[in-house]
Chain A
Amino acid sequence: MTTTPPRPAALSTTAAARRVFEVSFGEMLWSRRTIFMALVVGGPVLLAIIFRVVEAFGAPALRVNGARVAGGSVFGVMIWLLYVRFIVPVLGLFYGTSLMADEVEDKTITYLFSRPIPRGAVLLGKYLAYLACTGLVVLPSVMLTYFLTVPFAQVPGTFRSLVLDLAILAAGLAVYGAVFAFVGARLKRPLVGGLIFAFGWEPVVLALPGYLRQFTVARHLQALVPHAMPSDSALSLIQGLFRDVPSVPTALAWLTVLLVAFLWLAMRTVSRREYVLEQ
Chain B
Amino acid sequence: MPIHDQGYQRYKGERFQTGAGWQVIAKAGIRNVLVQRKYLGLMLMAWGPFIVRSVQAYAAANVPQASMLALKPETFRSFLETQAAFVFFFTVFVGAGLIAADRRANALQLYLSKPLSRWEYVAGKMAVLFVLLLAVTFLPAILLLFVQVGFAGNFSFVRANLYLIPAITLYSLAQVVLASMTMLALSSLSKSSRFVAVMYAGLIFFTSALFQAVRGITTKSSFAWLSPGDSLDVLGDAIFRLPLRYDLPVWGAALVVIGLIVGSAVVLERRVRAVEIVS
Interface residues of A (CB under 8 A from B): 33, 36, 40, 43-44, 47, 51, 61-62, 64, 69, 73-74, 77-78, 81-82, 85-86, 90, 93-94, 97-98, 101, 105, 191-192, 195-196, 199-200, 230, 232-233
Contacts and interface: CB of A to CB of B under 8 A. Distances in A.
Interface string B85-98: 10001001100000
A105 B190 CA distance: 14
B212 A40 contact: no
A195 B201 contact: yes
29 contacts: A36-B195, A36-B202, A40-B206, A43-B210, A44-B213, A51-B217, A61-B218, A62-B217, A64-B218, A77-B213, A77-B217, A81-B209, A81-B216, A82-B209, A86-B206, A86-B209, A90-B198, A90-B201, A90-B202, A93-B198, A97-B194, A191-B92, A192-B92, A195-B92, A196-B89, A199-B201, A200-B85, A230-B216, A233-B212
A36 B212 contact: no
Given A44-B213, A77-B217, A81-B216, 8 more contacts: A77-B216, A78-B213, A82-B209, A90-B201, A90-B202, A192-B93, A195-B89, A195-B92
B147 to A, nearest CB: 27
Contacts of B194: 97-98, 101, 105, 191
Contacts of B212: 81, 230, 232-233
Q: Report the 5 A-B pairs with minimum CB-CB distance, sorted nearest first.
A: A232-B212, A77-B216, A86-B209, A81-B213, A230-B216
B36 to A, nearest CB: 11
Contact of A85 (B197, B198, B209, B215): B209
Nearest to A190: B194
A232 to B, nearest CB: 4
Given A78-B213, A81-B212, A97-B194, A64 B219 contact: yes
Nearest to A43: B210
B209 A69 contact: no
B192 interface: yes
Nearest to A97: B194
Interface in B156-211: 192, 194-195, 197-199, 201-202, 205-206, 209-210
A106 to B, nearest CB: 10
A39 to B, nearest CB: 8
Contacts of A82: 209-210, 213
A148 B220 CA distance: 21
Nearest to B213: A81
A81 B210 CA distance: 8
A74 B220 CA distance: 14
B123 interface: no
A196 B202 CA distance: 14
A233 B205 CA distance: 13
Interface footprint category on B: 20 to 34
B197 A40 contact: no
A47 B197 contact: no
A94 B190 CA distance: 15
B198 A232 contact: no
B214 interface: yes
Given A85-B209, A195-B201, A33 B216 contact: no
A36 B199 contact: yes
A47 B213 contact: yes
Contact of B198 (A36, A47, A86, A200): A36
A58 B133 CA distance: 47
A77 B211 CA distance: 11
B135 to A, nearest CB: 19
A47 B202 contact: no
A69 B217 contact: yes
Given A81-B209, A90-B201, A105 B220 contact: no
B95 to A, nearest CB: 13
Given A62-B218, A191-B197, A40 B202 contact: yes
Contacts of A47: 210, 213-214
Most central of A69, A94, A101 by chain B CB within 10 Å: A94
B98 to A, nearest CB: 15
